[in-house]
Structure 1
Amino acid sequence: MVALCGMILSIFQDYLFTERHNTSFVFFESLLFKCVWVVFFLAYLCSYKSFHMIKEMSHQKLILLYGALVFCHVFVSTVMVWAISWIFKDQGYGLAKILAFTFSNDSSKILFIYFLSMIYLKRFYSPTLDSKEANEITDTAESQPKNLEIKNGRQHHLVSFDAILCIKADSPYVLVQTEDNSYLHSSSLKKVGEELDSRFFKLHRSCIVNIDKVTSYQSRLNGDYDVCLSGHINVRLSRNYAKQFKAVIGDLITI
């Protein structure tokens, strides 16, 4: 929808320009060079299922992704204009001419739209599930084990999910905290997170908490929060996860 509106407004802008300068308006020519908006739509179709991955990316990876998206967008839109012009015109435009036009007229909007999109996906995006995906997640959760097997050397402990307060990264281990004890586990936070059920929530890149053990949370006035767990344990909630955390807590209160 955004791409369609952008295309229509750009064509209308071309029409106003020709009226103001008393030149002829050629609809096909105007439409042809609006392929840049079509590429935004194609980019969305190809990547919308991967939007959730952006929230976990580091700033370095985001910068590389941003550069790659802008480069690919300019390349694809240039080739589209070149190909369509040679198919429907007696003599098509040259690639160099189209590329120069794209850089001079469309580079700012490409940079701006991808920048805003990545900011939104990083800070505010919350994926929604359809009924089929929700049922699959529910069925998977019901079949998951209720204990976490903790390995440290030759020692193996089975710790109930109900007893876990939080799990923190403590390289090269993870620290599993319960009300009565703490355990070092020979694994990564990412792998442990894949073994847990839906009651566990990631507060920031190095900490997962059991939502059932949250007793209160308080703002730090900088976007972050302090979350208090049973046993008077405090952990930090990153601003990047605050919106999702409040939504989960709100659902629990409603229930």
Structure 2
Amino acid sequence: MKVELFVSKDLEEPYAKIYTDVLTDNIQKAMALLEDNENVRENEERINENNSILAVKKGQNIVLLDFEDIFMIRVEDKQTKVFTEDMDYLVKKPLYQIEENLDSNFVRVSKSTIVNLRKIKRVAPSLKGMMFIELKNGLKDNISRKYLHDFKNALNL
């Protein structure tokens, strides 16, 4: 999806036009979010308050992901990637900025990884006091000792 932004002081109120050949669920969500508010700034605040949607990129397309669809967010090769059940997406924000807007179902397990607690398949001991985590979609990572206490607290252990 190609996105263009025009800023003009001549406008009385912001408006958006969306051109598409197929009306997808994500486009309908975007339209609903834009129509629900008087301006884009209020819309961004509402998204952050609700903690329910994350805008990500796949190629030229912008996709709005529900938090419940996110399995893991991880920094790889200096890029922040968001993993769902069978796809991965890019997001331009650094991990700490994304973490600020996530709900309590997400917990940081290492310097470079945040996981959705609802998507965990198993947790097992690993090397040197670390724990190993496997998600329901097959993704694996280590829980570092630094974040192990917070992880256990998030699981009420």
TM-score by length of 1: 0.40
Q: Cα deviation per residue 1:93-137 (whole Å; 9 max; x = unaligned)?
A: xxxxxxxxxxxxxxxxxxxxxxxxxxxxxxxxxxxxxxxxxxxxx
Larger radius of gyration: 1
Task: Please state how far the C-alpha of 1:237 moved relative to its aligned partner.
Answer: 0.3
Map of 1:201 onto structure 2 = 107
Q: Does 1:232 align with 2:125?
A: no
CA RMSD of aligned residues (A): 2.4
1:188 aligns with one of 75, 94, 97: 94
What is the aligned counterpart of 1:212 among 93, 101, 118? Answer: 118
Q: Which segment is superposed worse, 160-169 or 227-236?
A: 227-236
Q: Following TM superposition, by how much is the alpha carbon of 1:152 offset from its aligned partner in structure 2, in angstroms?
A: 6.0
Cα deviation for residue 248 of structure 1 reads: 1.5
Which residue type is aligned with residue 93 of structure 2?
S
Q: Matched residues in 1 for 2:154 and 2:113: separation?
A: 16
For 2:138 and 2:65, how far apart are their aligned partners in 1?
20
> In structure 2, what is the Cα distance between the partners aligned to 1:221 and 1:173?
27
C-alpha spacing 1:173/1:250, structure 2 compared with 1 (3 Å): same
Higher strand proportion (structure 1 or 2): 2
Runs ≥4 in structure 1, deviation > 6 angstroms?
Answer: none
C-alpha contact 1:172 1:187 (8 A) present in aligned 2: no
How far apart are residue 172 of structure 1 and its match? 3.6
1:176 counterpart (82, 90, 102): 82
- SS for the counterpart of 2:128 is coil
Identify which of structures 1 and 2 has the higher relative contact order when contacts are C-alpha pairs closer than 8 Å and 6+ apart. 2
Compared with structure 1, are the counterparts of its residues 154 and 205 closer, same or farther at alpha carbon in structure 2 (3 Å cutoff)?
A: same
Q: C-alpha distance in 1, partners of 2:110/2:122?
A: 17
| Residue of structure 2 equivalent to 1:146 | 52
Q: What TM-score, normalized by structure 2, do the two folds share?
A: 0.63
Greater CA drift, 173-182 or 150-159 = 150-159
Q: In 1, distance between residues paired with 2:80 and 2:127?
A: 29
* Letter in structure 2 aligned against 1:166: M
Alignment check: 8 A CA contact 1:150 1:158 kept: yes
Counterpart Cα distance in 1 of 2:69 and 2:92: 19
* Unaligned segments of structure 2, at least 5 residues: 1-45
Match 1:164 to one of 61, 67, 70: 70
Q: Is the 8 A contact 1:172 1:188 kept in 2?
A: no
Task: Choose from 135, 151, 156 the match for 1:245.
Answer: 151
Q: 1:163 Cα shift?
A: 0.7
SS of corresponding position for 1:231:
coil
**Counting helix residues as a fraction of each chain, which structure ranks higher?**
1
The gaps in structure 1 that reach 5 residues or longer are 1-139
